[in-house]
Chain A
Amino acid sequence: MKILVSIKRVADPDNASKLKVSSDGTAVTSEGLEWKMNPFDDWSLEAALRLTENAAEKNARVGEVVLVSIGPNDEHTQRIIREGLAKGAERGILVEADDANLDSNVVSQILKAVVDKENPDLVVMGKQAADGDSNVAGTKLAARLGWPIINYAMKISTNDDGKTLEVKRELDTGVATVKVTGPAVITTSDRILQPESVKNGITPADHQYAKLEVGGRYASLKGIMQAKKKPIDQMSLGDLGIEAKVALKYTKFELPPARSGDTTFVESVEDLVDKLHNTAKVI
């Protein structure tokens, strides 16, 4: 099975308090921020790796994971690709582009061009990026490809190397189980990190993955050494024949108002509802 996983470098969400809005309010400035792999993508990578390995045999690879990242060709983008390679992915692709010229529309076009080139059996993506929170690129990509889209996957299982998959989707109203014939686009939720969330028919069904709470697997020191030898192909939008312009314009950014820090204790549920409705006016 060959899986394409898109990864994006985002400003470290743990450092969100350092975010600043430019003086004219039209952009979020990125100076002084630390960059890391979008956590949602980290989880989707974990799912893709589990689909393409035999975990009982020291995570022996039985398929291929190709990473693609779109962004400036700088140390940060390269580093998250290298991190993914260190975790076990086979190859990386860096599509060079400016953040200002990217939105879900352009991204989905770029990803389609990469899919056409690579012919993967599956595309596994984070459901959204931790910076823009748009939650659109996966669906748009599927629409462009004419492939099925399965959003918010929390469990994925296959018994025929990904030709058909059973996916449980996490919804506000419950869990939906869908069966899909590949190729398909899947976006994952954080529950995909659960020890039993991915069954690929190769790793023994009773295998227990380590309990992960924050992110995907560790990039092992050995993996980091080995990742240096794995290839990262670099390409431009021109190489992929893309001339797309952004369709989305942000008109204004505002930081959330500072919290007052007042704490009110309530005695009863009625009291709570009353305060939420009449004082805070949130319900």
Chain B
Amino acid sequence: MDNEKLINEVMGGGLRALNKLAGSPIVERFGLQDRARQLVYEGAKRAAETAKRLAPKAPRGETSRRSQKFDLRLTEEQQLMRDTLRRFADEVMQPAARESDDRLGPPEGLLEAFSDLGAISMAVPEVLGGAAERVSAVSQMLIAEDLARGDMGLAYAALSPLSFVNALVHWGDERQQTALLRSFVEEDSIRASVAVVEPHPFFDPAAPRTTAKKKGSELVLTGEKSMVALAHHAKWFLVAAEVPKLGPRFILIERETEGVEVSEETAMGLGSAGLGRLRLNKVRVSIDSLLGGKAALEPDALSAYDDAIDRGRIAWGAMALGTSQALLDYVIPYCNDRVAFGEPISHRQAVAFMIANIAIELESMRMLVYRAAGRIDAGLSCAREAYLARTLCSDKAMEIGTNGVQLLGGAGFIKDHPVELWYRQLRSIGVMDGNLLL
């Protein structure tokens, strides 16, 4: 991106003063503290009508309190969330990880236990019956990161209904929100999943091969979606499909609709999410099933779809962070304790440097992912940042996975240790481009 464009973007985002102060167009805040969001919210292009209705009021004086320091610390609320989620990941998810991977689905009660944490209420604004004063992409990203620390497959299962809710909150029309969201919030559990990824080479989420052809007041969907979490469990699917002459859109489809077929799908990793393949064979739904209703037929509704792709990339990046962090936290004490040739193996540079590299790469991934999410909360475009995050995470997550196995030597290959599982999970980051969104 050239400088001029960047400056315009930043100024348009209401950060002119800060930018001047920093003296460089490159220095931008990550927006982690989420303070200036309201000022710039109106300028944001996405989902104008819905956004306007949902936009919460900025507390008075909030923008002026924004620190001039480059400060990446979490807010009190985010820190408290993190405490809860880490405890949940350590106490509930990690112990269940191995068995869930073997039996290809989350254990009984785990999704309910996650529901009890109230993540859905947190994702839904107060005006729609939730508990969120404002919905934050950074908070959602932290949830993904911390859950994936427990287990990426189980995190995928837990986040997939949440992604469905997020999409409804961001882009659903009033009727869809009233019909679905309120019941989800009341029960604090939903059986829903998002289906974007397709089983063919060079899959591009911006150009799905699944089609939704307009026939009168109906849409007819044909296509195939893969790696769908909780596929057998879900009652609702949010399907990405190409509407001819219009572009890709999301469509709400009920499991019971004629022509919807779900079959099992097994994969190298993420098995504990209960993966399935979704086949749509001339599935007819009302045109009102378009996410966002009639407004989604307007050409500029494409920006909502693009936004969803960015949000998906950040979510998977956050998943890579969580599992990579779990791996790093595991190999350090292991290599300090494991004695070979009369000393801990971490005394060997080949081992120590490998661990240091994991730490460096992980932190780089984290900065890119956090920055991309921070820009969403600041009302700025994050397409470039989300793509950079995705590219780095899919490369490095794989590398971190394989190095984790390497550091444990032969012990890394067997199932006594979780690293081989993490390796398989981390391989998924490169494959998964969609099916989740913040």
Q: Which residues of A contact B (CB under 8 A)?
A: 36, 75, 78-79, 82-83, 86, 213-215, 218-228
Contact = CB atoms under 8 A, between A and B. Distances in A.
Given A214-B87, A226-B131, A228-B133, A221 B81 contact: yes
Given A221-B122, A222-B131, A86 B80 contact: yes
Interface in B87-115: 87-88, 91
B256 interface: no
Given A221-B117, A222-B121, A225-B77, A83 B83 contact: yes
B79 interface: yes
B292 to A, nearest CB: 26
Contacts of A219: 80, 83-84
Contact of B122 (A36, A75, A78, A225): A225
A213 B95 CA distance: 14
Contacts of A215: 87
B118 interface: yes
A218 B91 CA distance: 11
21 contacts: A79-B80, A86-B80, A213-B91, A218-B84, A218-B87, A218-B88, A219-B80, A220-B84, A221-B117, A221-B118, A221-B121, A221-B143, A222-B121, A222-B131, A223-B118, A224-B122, A225-B121, A225-B131, A225-B133, A226-B131, A228-B133
Nearest to B143: A221
Given A82-B80, A224-B84, A228-B133, 9 more contacts: A214-B91, A215-B87, A220-B117, A220-B118, A221-B84, A221-B117, A225-B121, A226-B131, A228-B77
Contacts of B79: 79
A207 to B, nearest CB: 15
Given A75-B76, A78-B76, A218-B117, A224 B87 contact: no
B122 A222 contact: yes
A70 to B, nearest CB: 19
A239 B117 CA distance: 38
Interface in B238-278: none
Given A225-B122, A225-B132, A226-B131, A220 B76 contact: no
Contacts of B119: 221
Q: Interface of chain B, helix or strand or loop or mixed? A: helix
B116 interface: yes
B229 to A, nearest CB: 20
A36, A215, A221, A226 interface centre (most CB from chain B within 10 Å): A221
Contacts of B91: 213-214
Nearest to B85: A221
A70 B290 CA distance: 55
Nearest to A85: B80
Nearest to A229: B133
Contacts of B116: 218, 220
Interface residues of B, number: 21
A225 B77 CA distance: 7
B76 A79 contact: yes
A224 B85 CA distance: 12
Contacts of A218: 84, 87-88, 116-117
A86 B88 CA distance: 16
A255 to B, nearest CB: 21
A226 B122 CA distance: 10
B139 to A, nearest CB: 8
Contact of A222 (B83, B88, B118, B143): B118
Most A-side CB within 10 Å, residue of B83, B85, B88, B132: B83
Contacts of B133: 225, 228
Interface in B104-158: 116-119, 121-122, 131-133, 143
Nearest to A36: B83
A269 to B, nearest CB: 31
Listed from nearest, the 5 A-B pairs whose CB atoms lie closest are A222-B118, A222-B121, A220-B118, A225-B131, A221-B122
Contacts of B85: 221
Contacts of A222: 117-118, 121-122, 131
Nearest to A37: B83
Contacts of B143: 221
Nearest to A224: B80
B405 to A, nearest CB: 28
A223 B121 CA distance: 10
A83 B88 CA distance: 15
A213 B91 CA distance: 9
Contacts of A79: 76, 79-80
Nearest to B92: A218
A82 B76 CA distance: 9
Contacts of A75: 76
Nearest to A213: B91
A80 B367 CA distance: 28
A214 B88 CA distance: 11
- Among B80, B88, B131: residue with most chain A CB under 10 A: B80
A133 to B, nearest CB: 24
B159 to A, nearest CB: 13
Contacts of B76: 75, 78-79, 82
Contacts of A213: 91
Contacts of A83: 80, 83
A213 B122 CA distance: 26
Most B CB atoms within 10 A — which of A82, A213, A224, A228?
A224
Contacts of A224: 77, 80-81, 84, 122
A218 B92 CA distance: 12
A79 B79 CA distance: 9
A228 B122 CA distance: 13
A193 to B, nearest CB: 13
Interface string B368-408: 00000000000000000000000000000000000000000
A12 to B, nearest CB: 11
B108 to A, nearest CB: 14
Nearest to A83: B80
Contacts of B117: 218, 220-222
Contacts of A225: 77, 118, 121-122, 131-133
Contacts of A227: 80
